[in-house]
Chains A and B, each alone.
Chain A
Amino acid sequence: MQSQLPFSPDQASNFAPHVDDLMLFITLICLFFAVAVTAAIIIFFFKYHRKSPNEVGVPIHGDSRLEAAWMIVPLILAMGMFGWGAVVYVDYRHAPPDALDIYVIGKQWMWKAQQPNGLREINELHVPAGRDVRLILASEDVIHDFFVPAFRVKMDVVPGHYNTMWFRPTKPGRYHFFCSQYCGTNHAIMGGWVTVMEPADYAAWLSGSSGAEANPVVAGEKLFAEKACVTCHVGNGTGRAPSLNGVFGAKVLLADGSTVVADEAYIRESILQPNAKIVAGYQPLMPTFQGQLTEEQILSLTAYIKSLQSQPVPATGSGIAPTTEKR
């Protein structure tokens, strides 16, 4: 395995070294031509600079042998690039038959994944190192694209089509993934992390014993970020969902005009059945987290939301009923 190219992301999949080798190959060929042509221009520029106002250049009209040479040589090199690129691509488009199937669904603007055992994740993807993984991609609305720079792979997620992509992670760690097909307002924050784990850790994680943090508030805060709650429930109240600062224990005004006290039961219901009670002024956008959170995790989240009481309450966008109610 070659050493890492400068200006390239981590190499964390079987494709990464191939793609980097291709990059190096094409860069070297292109550099040769770029330098040769630029050098020729600079040399001619000074060497044949006009010496007197009426000077005329030597009338050379062309040379067919030269023309043939500079058509055939680049063509051969180009065919080399085509051939090598094609080999990598054909490999990429044909997943090995025994690959681990993970379903990935894009929707405006989040990623949902489902592991082979049914475990679901949001904006997270856990994969085992050294194992072929095939992603089956689907979209609920517009075209998205699942892109992991460290793996050097991407594939469009097209509504009405079911594209697949595969890779074999080689290096445990956490790597960015992005949506790289423009998909509307929050295209740029429609991303997350791929976690490559040692196979044993992955198996443990799948079975749910991933060693939760002792402090439920800390664990809850981490979950709040991991599950992308934070992308909509923005602290200052400008998000697409109400701010949760100071919400615990307060009265919340609902879309149907009624109010409800935000207690543990309300928070649990809002996580598992988000559309049951909609806060006034907001759209029913939140996906259900039923089946994606263990009871322990729900408790951690609740603990974290409770801890937000000490945060300043935004002037708008919290859904907390006007204080006249409290009086």
Chain B
Amino acid sequence: MSEHIVSPKIYLVIFASLMLGTGITVWAAFRDVGKFNIVIALVIATIKATLVVLFFMHARYSPRRTQMVIVCSVFWLAIMLALTLTDYDTRPRDSRLAPPAISHLLRA
């Protein structure tokens, strides 16, 4: 068997980074940077998730096949979110608002 054994030292470094990430994300959430709040939160979460996948889950040392599987899952998730948002992002803004002339015709 030729599996890669990750040393506990690396685990501890990763753990510390994850803790740091958690701290930063909470701290950043209280700073008002407009719509970048959500961007910062998601970037930090993605960095944390990547660290977990690469080291705790040994993806960095796994065969290429496993890495492909991971890429696939992210890719398909992206397809689902992105293509659905192409619909929502490009709709006329008012499609969910009642035009005034019609609201009285609808049951309350």
What is the interface of chain A, defined by CB distance below 8 A to chain B?
101, 103, 105, 107, 112, 114, 136, 138, 140, 160-163
CA distance A140 to B99 in the complex (A): 15
CA distance A114 to B97 in the complex (A): 19
Judging by beta carbons under 8 Å apart, are A162 and B107 in contact? no
Q: Smallest Cβ distance from B92 to chain A, in angstroms?
A: 9
CA distance A236 to B48 in the complex (A): 70
User: Within residues 18 to 39 of chain B, which ones have a CB less than 8 A from any CB in chain A?
Assistant: none
Chain A residues, Cβ within 8 Å of B95 = 161-163
Query: Is B1's beta carbon under 8 Å from chain A?
Result: no
CA distance A143 to B105 in the complex (A): 17
What are 11 sample pairs from A and B whose C-beta atoms fall under 8 A apart?
A103-B101, A105-B102, A105-B105, A105-B106, A138-B105, A138-B106, A160-B96, A161-B96, A162-B95, A162-B97, A162-B102
User: Within residues 78 to 108 of chain B, which ones have a CB less than 8 A from any CB in chain A?
Assistant: 94-99, 101-102, 105-107
Q: Smallest Cβ distance from B99 to chain A, in angstroms?
A: 6
Chain A residues, Cβ within 8 Å of B99 = 136, 162
Task: For chain B, give the interface size range.
Answer: 10 to 19
Chain B residues, Cβ within 8 Å of A114 = 105
Judging by beta carbons under 8 Å apart, are B98 and A138 in contact? yes
Chain A residues, Cβ within 8 Å of B97 = 162
Contact among A101, A140, A161 with B107 in the assembled complex (CB-CB below 8 Å): A140
Interface of B is mostly: loop
Chain B residues, Cβ within 8 Å of A161 = 95-96
Chain A residues, Cβ within 8 Å of B94 = 162
What is the interface of chain B, defined by CB distance below 8 A to chain A?
94-99, 101-102, 105-107
**6 closest A-B pairs by CB:** A103-B102, A140-B107, A161-B95, A105-B105, A138-B102, A140-B106
Most buried by A among B94, B96, B97, B106: B106
Chain B residues, Cβ within 8 Å of A103 = 101-102, 105
CA distance A105 to B95 in the complex (A): 15
- Can you name the residue of chain B whose Cβ is closest to the Cβ of A287? B107
Chain B residues, Cβ within 8 Å of A162 = 94-99, 102
Q: Smallest Cβ distance from A88 to chain B, in angstroms?
A: 19
Further contacts, 16 of them, CB under 8 A, given A103-B102, A163-B95: A101-B101, A105-B106, A112-B105, A114-B105, A136-B101, A136-B102, A138-B98, A138-B105, A138-B106, A140-B107, A161-B95, A161-B96, A162-B94, A162-B95, A162-B98, A162-B102
Chain B residues, Cβ within 8 Å of A163 = 95
CA distance A118 to B99 in the complex (A): 15
